[in-house]
Structure 1
């Protein structure tokens, strides 16, 4: 209880130093290559686990005395397609694994408003597993008390950059994507596809995990390719604010491409391009594909999308819980695949790629 009180005090007085905390966390991150080099036994375990993810489900081999209790902390709109897709895929895999479980979902609408209700409820409920779908300074501080005690066990969803500070007491598993690799693929593709004289601008995030792993790296890659980024605006991962920032860029001069650092930004930029109509031929990128994302690719407002195999993350969470219940060895890091979805592909190819990424939740994305 004392440590929980310390967490509350830290959040209450610590929000003013959030950018510093974010920058500090960026320096504390490892990529998968560094992690596997540091702990060589993790590599073979990760390969075995990847095989499990891509194989048909195999029901749990041990009998359960009671339902396993899982707390899932979601962020933003609980009814967003990303959150609903996670829940659909996770529940389906747990059902296929024949695991008796109770899932309690909690929502943090915004970590900046100081509302700790969800965190307090999770701590009071004493679950067996805590699955957190975002890791920032607040969540890191909250989870460290669990990592020290070993209860409940922690799974970090959509976060695949192990923290050096946690190397001796890691979460049960990090599951996510190699954001550096995905961003490098995107930058390389754009360098090959955009004309040499293309005018590029960028909407980037404030200091944060994705700000470091995507935005900073993209700007570095453009510098490496000797492609100047003429204007850079910092915006939150919010559609409306990105819409206003994109309109500012589009109204101030000719632009061929606007780099969007996160999906909320992409949504705002696409909306701004739609509003401009034929007055602008600019394009942007997306991270994943929203419900109308295929239409945006086909209209060429979106030049390319980084398509993440998102359902595999939900499957990985279910399989990690199963292996833990069975007492079997597993890796502490699972990195799912990401591929590029260029606008030049035909409609059927785009549809098949979407099915590959969302093979458990594809109905949601087709609505």
Structure 2
């Protein structure tokens, strides 16, 4: 890690403080409808920009295929890329993203250097801002970052107005309305709402639309709105399936465990716990394991990384929505290649990868095929 001693000390203190805070209960109806309206869905964006649909389709086909070596002129250009990811968590999405990105860049022959910075999820934005400033001191050609809280928007907006470096926003596929006319170079990830609806359909089928459930949000911000609030919205027409409790967990496993223990005291008859992220799901599983009479309560994962797939194989997790993970890293590499070839007009504004629903009891051969596709560059153990 390339942190100064002072920055590292500050990160440790904030992480310890955050872990000491209790999970935050959410009142019914809370959680950011206004924030959701700040974004355009893929369908909304493509209605405004109809040429984008064909661009996205052609680009997606390129991503799914084997890499083609770039022309000599593009390979000779030396580029620098700064990557700031919330990769210090159980989910291996971010680590696999980097591995797949590097592998595809190597496959197509680009000459690059990557400065990597990993933080905890929901870490104090001031640390991330310091890391961005540190990365900008290296004059990168591209900056890869994510966007979860409102303050991230202010940081990124200052950069995209400068036009350099070109910004790739990870784990977000919904362009900001406020940035129309001056968007980042690329939004890349997996449509949170699409994945959430798959899980909602699963739970509706299992419960027949009756009973109660608990919801564990991530932190206050984009992911919770897109995965959490969209889940509630998906169940809106099923009044017999009621939300018994909801908590913000900051993506922290221990906070999630404590939240579920509290939920079980007040609503022991819930049918399932909807978790917005991997670490959150494992906190819920921890709580259920230490409580009696909870075997019937279902828990989902979100993303389908290695830890979730192992939990499903072991019977600890009931279902997850699995991202075809490595395609996000491939998409970033191909977008950069097109840019270096002066073909940036072929880069869509949004790349959104595909999902597969994985349930407990899946045939091992089917799961192996899914892993081979999803982790085609990053392998089984990145």
The TM-score normalised by the length of structure 1 is 0.87
Q: Please say if 1:274 is aligned against 2:289.
A: yes
Q: Please say if 1:239 is aligned against 2:221.
A: no
Relative to structure 1, is the Cα distance of residues 171 and 213 closer, same or farther in structure 2, using a 3 angstrom cutoff?
same
Structure 1 or 2: larger helix share? 1
Q: Deviations for 1:6-45, whole angstroms, at most 9, x for unmatched residues?
A: xxxxxxxxxxxxxx99775432100100111101111111
Contact 1:198 1:257 in 2 (8 A): no
SS at match of 2:235: helix
Contact 2:148 2:223 in 1 (8 A): no
Alignment gaps of 5+ in structure 1: 1-19
Alignment gaps of 5+ in structure 2: 1-29
Contact 1:75 1:134 in 2 (8 A): no
Q: Please say if 1:361 is aligned against 2:361.
A: no
Q: How does 1:299-318 map to 2 (within 5 A)?
A: 299-318=314-333
Comparing both chains, which one has the higher relative contact order based on Cα–Cα distances under 8 Å and sequence gaps of 6 or more?
2
Q: Deviations for 1:42-67, whole angstroms, at most 9, x for unmatched residues?
A: 11111110110011100111425541
**1:257 equivalent among 272, 276, 279:** 272
Distance across 2 between alignment mates of 1:237 and 1:161:
21
**1:107 equivalent among 100, 112, 118:** 118
**1:351 equivalent among 368, 375, 381:** 368
**1:210 equivalent among 223, 246, 261:** 223
**1:28 equivalent among 35, 38, 49:** 38
Q: State the shift of 1:296 in Å.
A: 2.4
1:13 equivalent in structure 2: none
Distance across 1 between alignment mates of 2:89 and 2:270:
35
Distance across 1 between alignment mates of 2:205 and 2:334:
39
Distance across 2 between alignment mates of 1:353 and 1:65:
36
Q: State the shift of 1:131 in Å.
A: 0.7
Q: State the shift of 1:146 in Å.
A: 2.3
**1:176 equivalent among 160, 172, 189:** 189
1:321 equivalent in structure 2: 336
Relative to structure 1, is the Cα distance of residues 291 and 31 closer, same or farther in structure 2, using a 3 angstrom cutoff?
same
Q: State the shift of 1:167 in Å.
A: 1.6
SS at match of 1:280: coil
Q: State the shift of 1:197 in Å.
A: 4.5
2:79 equivalent in structure 1: 68
Which of 131-140 and 275-284 deviates more? Answer: 275-284
Relative to structure 1, is the Cα distance of residues 199 and 175 closer, same or farther in structure 2, using a 3 angstrom cutoff?
same
Contact 1:297 1:303 in 2 (8 A): yes
Relative to structure 1, is the Cα distance of residues 22 and 124 closer, same or farther in structure 2, using a 3 angstrom cutoff?
farther
Q: State the shift of 1:348 in Å.
A: 2.2
Distance across 2 between alignment mates of 1:93 and 1:211:
31
The RMSD of aligned alpha carbons is 2.4
Relative to structure 1, is the Cα distance of residues 250 and 346 closer, same or farther in structure 2, using a 3 angstrom cutoff?
farther
Q: State the shift of 1:251 in Å.
A: 4.2
Q: State the shift of 1:278 in Å.
A: 6.0
Distance across 2 between alignment mates of 1:206 and 1:133:
14
**1:155 equivalent among 136, 146, 168:** 168
Which of 212-221 and 43-52 deviates more? Answer: 212-221
Which of 139-148 and 234-243 deviates more? Answer: 139-148
Contact 1:111 1:138 in 2 (8 A): no
2:10 equivalent in structure 1: none
Q: State the shift of 1:75 in Å.
A: 1.6
Distance across 1 between alignment mates of 2:227 and 2:270:
21
Q: Please say if 1:285 is aligned against 2:285.
A: no
Distance across 1 between alignment mates of 2:91 and 2:229:
27
**1:129 equivalent among 124, 142, 165:** 142
Q: State the shift of 1:295 in Å.
A: 3.7
